[in-house]
């Protein structure tokens, strides 16, 4: 028991309630289920003992003490602390067998061991020291997720949870697209660490006077001033001799500070969302730079000196409003792997010699609405894996496209596309597994010859929408993709029905129908013996523009008792 610390937490909570009478702290004002600093009645010792006896588990000491001496939920981080029972219910939604929650999943040990977590933290710290935090690989969410009680909703699909069973019992984790232990230089956080940090940060945010930018020690390898609206880089940054990553996005920088070139170890530079127009030749002095982010800026070109960045692997310039062409110097970057120029509305030209980039793996040009053609040399990008051309004016793939033997993913969600020509080229690509396209009334019969495609995403066709085609069934030619494993129609509310022959997709495992106009499931769907997951919105009233009908959900649950039927 850590009674002294709990007393300190209670004192800080009282101070926070007193200082935040106007509910300025995030989540405290009651909006979207916020807590308004209310605390639910504490659980008695008898109630806690009865719970633990009934479930054969001992709750982590700090969490148990809080429930007993402070409250069973209420005032707490973000939208508030869940009560014990709600925390269990939330956890069960992420622990299912088929479409049914695993009962008392919190009793089953958390699947990650101390050794595995220690290995992750060591790798994490090494990445931070190298300035490579963007490359950290977080643990995947186990299926099913067991051994946890959810603590609080963070927002945007993320939550905090407490491990209550297994080797990690007593530690706090973040859950969302992946799992992450919460930790600092002193180790993994316990419940009290997590709760007291929220109190400290909340009290600090209520201190009088304007907020000040962070200050960093001279040995820092990563420095971020994102969103501070600063006109220049603070002087103390230039004392960080080991700096490997500098984030200065969302500020008021008008001129590139050439002093940056003193950072000889710099690997990542992010100057996105600044009123920058020009980048000087001196940038070529950053010999170890690997990643350069210039998104949401107003560049019209890049200097010849950029070609001296012999280690540059990623250049990102999406949402560049003045850019009319991919800068010619880009074709002279010897180690570039990723180029992102998406959402640059004026961009209409790609260098003729882009095919020189033998290391290029990703080229993202989606939503470049003025781009009507690609140079023939694109077909010489022998290591290209990912190509995104969605919502451009490109109607035909360049000649020789079939030479892209390493292409794995292609986004060609464009209207009025030349499908007969494309199919002849795409069917020769042995590694092409993922395809994103626009919904059409039909596709050529040869569509089924795309035998390597495993994942298909079908987006709304706005050209047809504006012509009055508000609803379209998915064409039966889709049913000819014999090796398809995932069909994703998410947010395509123009899609009004699945093809009657969908049962022919014998390898289909995943069906994503969130926010579509699909109401019913064809009878042939029950023939899909490998189906593992169906996700959709539930139309509870029967008159919504989107969502599956209640009776249809019941039907598919009967058909696939062991699948994950996520229709809510």
Taking only the tens place, the pLDDT of each residue in 213-267 is 999 999 999 999 999 999 999 999 999 999 999 999 999 999 999 999 999 999 9
Of 89-103, 200-214, 457-471, which one has max mean pLDDT? Answer: 457-471
* Domain limit, last residue, from 189, 205, 221: 205
Instruction: Check pLDDT > 80 for residue 533.
Output: yes
- Contact between 307 and 332 under an 8 Å Cβ cutoff? The reply is yes
Q: Is residue 410 part of a domain?
A: no
Cα–Cα distance measured from residue 235 to residue 252, given in angstroms and rounded to the nearest whole number: 16
Closest by CA position to 383, among listed 353, 403, 397, 413? 403
Cα–Cα distance measured from residue 269 to residue 291, given in angstroms and rounded to the nearest whole number: 6
Q: Whose structure tokens read 């850019």?
A: 323
> What is the maximum span of the chain, computed from C-alpha positions, in angstroms?
76
Q: Is residue 289 part of a domain?
A: no
Q: Which residues pair with 363 in a beta bridge?
A: 339, 387
Instruction: Check pLDDT > 80 for residue 33.
Output: no
Cβ atoms within 10 Å of 423's Cβ, excluding its own: 18
79 phi, psi to nearest 5 deg: -85, 10
Cis? peptide before 198, omega within 30° of 0: no
- Contact between 260 and 266 under an 8 Å Cβ cutoff? The reply is yes
Closest by CA position to 160, among listed 201, 197, 185, 202? 197
Task: Count how many Cα atoms sit within 13 Å of the Cα of residue 452 in the half-sphere of its side chain.
Answer: 18
For residue 170, the SS3 value is coil
What mean pLDDT is predicted for residues 21-31?
87
Chain segment 200-227, per-residue pLDDT in tens: 999 999 998 888 899 999 999 999 999 9
Instruction: Check pLDDT > 70 for residue 1.
Output: no
Q: Is residue 255 part of a domain?
A: no
* Domain limit, last residue, from 145, 176, 205: 205
233 phi, psi to nearest 5 deg: -75, 125
Range in 207-211, 412-416, 420-424 with the lowest mean pLDDT: 207-211
Chain segment 542-562, per-residue pLDDT in tens: 999 999 999 999 999 999 999
Q: Which residues pair with 269 in a beta bridge?
A: 246, 292
Q: Is residue 123 part of a domain?
A: yes
Q: Is residue 448 part of a domain?
A: yes
What mean pLDDT is predicted for residues 312-328?
97
Q: Which residues pair with 164 in a beta bridge?
A: none
Cα–Cα distance measured from residue 166 to residue 112, given in angstroms and rounded to the nearest whole number: 8
- Contact between 397 and 420 under an 8 Å Cβ cutoff? The reply is no
Residue 295, pLDDT score: 98
259 phi, psi to nearest 5 deg: -60, -20
Residue 156, pLDDT score: 86
- Tokens (6 digits) for 91: 């956890």
Closest by CA position to 167, among listed 121, 111, 87, 120? 111
- Contact between 213 and 236 under an 8 Å Cβ cutoff? The reply is no
Whole domain around residue 456: which residue ranges?
444-568
* Domain limit, last residue, from 159, 189, 205: 205
Residue-level length of the chain: 568
Q: Is residue 295 part of a domain?
A: no
Q: Is residue 185 part of a domain?
A: yes
Instruction: Check pLDDT > 90 for residue 102.
Output: no
- Tokens (6 digits) for 325: 């062409």
DSSP 460-514: --HHHHHTT---EEPPGGGGG-TT--EEE-TT-TTEEE--TTGGG-TT--EEE-T
Q: Is residue 372 part of a domain?
A: no
* Four-residue CA torsion sign, 191, 172, 96, 158: positive
For residue 388, the SS3 value is strand
Residue 490, pLDDT score: 98
What mean pLDDT is predicted for residues 55-75?
97
The CATH number for 515's domain is 3.80.10.10
Closest by CA position to 197, among listed 176, 208, 182? 182
Domain count within the chain: 2
Report the mean per-residue pLDDT for the chain. Answer: 96
Give the pLDDT band of residue 94 (cuts 50, 70, 90): confident
Chain segment 385-402, per-residue pLDDT in tens: 999 999 999 999 999 999
Q: Annotate 301-314 with b (16+ C-beta within 10 A) or e (fewer).
A: bbbebbbbbeebbb
């Amino acid at each position: 028991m850590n009674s002294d610390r709990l007393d300190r937490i209670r004192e800080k909570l009282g101070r926070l309630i007193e200082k935040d009478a106007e509910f300025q702290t995030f989540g405290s004002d009651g909006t979207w289920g916020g807590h308004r600093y209310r605390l639910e009645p504490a659980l008695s010792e008898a109630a806690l003992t009865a719970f633990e006896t009934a479930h054969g588990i001992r709750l982590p000491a700090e969490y148990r003490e809080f429930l007993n001496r402070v409250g069973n939920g209420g005032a707490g981080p973000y939208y508030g602390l869940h009560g014990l029972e709600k925390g269990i219910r939330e956890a069960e939604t992420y622990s299912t067998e088929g479409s049914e929650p695993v009962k008392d999943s919190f009793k089953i040990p958390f699947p990650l061991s101390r050794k595995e977590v220690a290995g992750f933290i060591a790798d994490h710290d090494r990445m931070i020291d190298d300035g490579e935090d963007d490359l950290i690989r977080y643990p995947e969410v186990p299926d099913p997720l067991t051994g946890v009680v959810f603590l609080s909703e963070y927002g945007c699909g993320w939550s905090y949870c407490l491990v209550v069973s297994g080797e990690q019992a007593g530690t706090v984790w973040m859950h969302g697209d992946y799992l992450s232990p919460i930790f600092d230089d002193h180790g993994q956080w316990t419940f009290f660490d997590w709760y007291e940090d929220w109190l400290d940060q909340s009290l600090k945010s209520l201190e009088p006077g304007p907020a000040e930018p962070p200050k960093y020690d001279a040995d820092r390898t990563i420095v971020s001033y994102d969103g501070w609206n600063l006109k220049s880089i603070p002087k103390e940054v230039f004392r960080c001799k080991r700096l490997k990553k500098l984030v200065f996005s969302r500020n008021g920088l008008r001129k590139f500070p050439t002093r940056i070139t003193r950072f000889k170890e710099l690997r990542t530079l992010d100057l996105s969302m600044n009123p920058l127009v020009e980048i000087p030749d001196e940038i070529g002095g950053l010999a170890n730079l690997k990643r350069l982010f210039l998104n949401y800026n107003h560049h019209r070109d890049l200097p010849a000196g950029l070609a001296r960045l012999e280690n540059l692997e990623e250049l990102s310039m999406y949402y560049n409003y003045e850019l009319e062409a991919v800068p010619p110097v880009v074709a002279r970057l010897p180690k570039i792997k990723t180029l992102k120029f998406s959402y640059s509305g004026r961009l209409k030209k790609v260098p003729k010699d882009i095919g020189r980039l033998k290391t290029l793996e990703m080229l993202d040009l989606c939503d470049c609405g003025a781009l009507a053609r690609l140079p023939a040399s694109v077909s010489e990008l022998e290591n290209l894996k990912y190509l995104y051309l969605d919502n451009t004016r490109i109607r035909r793939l360049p000649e020789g496209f079939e030479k892209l033997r390493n292409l794995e993913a292609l986004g060609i969600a464009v209207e009025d596309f030349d499908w007969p020509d494309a199919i002849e080229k795409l069917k020769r690509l042995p590694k092409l597994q993922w395809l994103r396209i626009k919904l059409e009334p039909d596709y050529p019969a040869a569509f089924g010859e795309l035998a390597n495609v495993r994942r298909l995403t079908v987006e709304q066709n706005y050209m047809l929408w504006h012509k009055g085609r508000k609803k379209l069934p998915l064409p039966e030619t889709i049913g000819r993709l014999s090796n398809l494993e995932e069909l994703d129609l998410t947010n395509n509310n123009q899609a009004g029905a699945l093809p009657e022959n969908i049962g022919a997709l014998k390898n289909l495992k995943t069906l994503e129908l969130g926010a579509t106009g699909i109401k019913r499931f064809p009878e042939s769907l029950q023939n899909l013996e490998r189906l593992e997951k169906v996700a959709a919105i539930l139309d509870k009233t029967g008159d919504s523009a989107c969502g599956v009908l209640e009776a249809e959900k019941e039907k598919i649950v009967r058909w696939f008792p062991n699948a994950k039927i996520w229709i809510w």
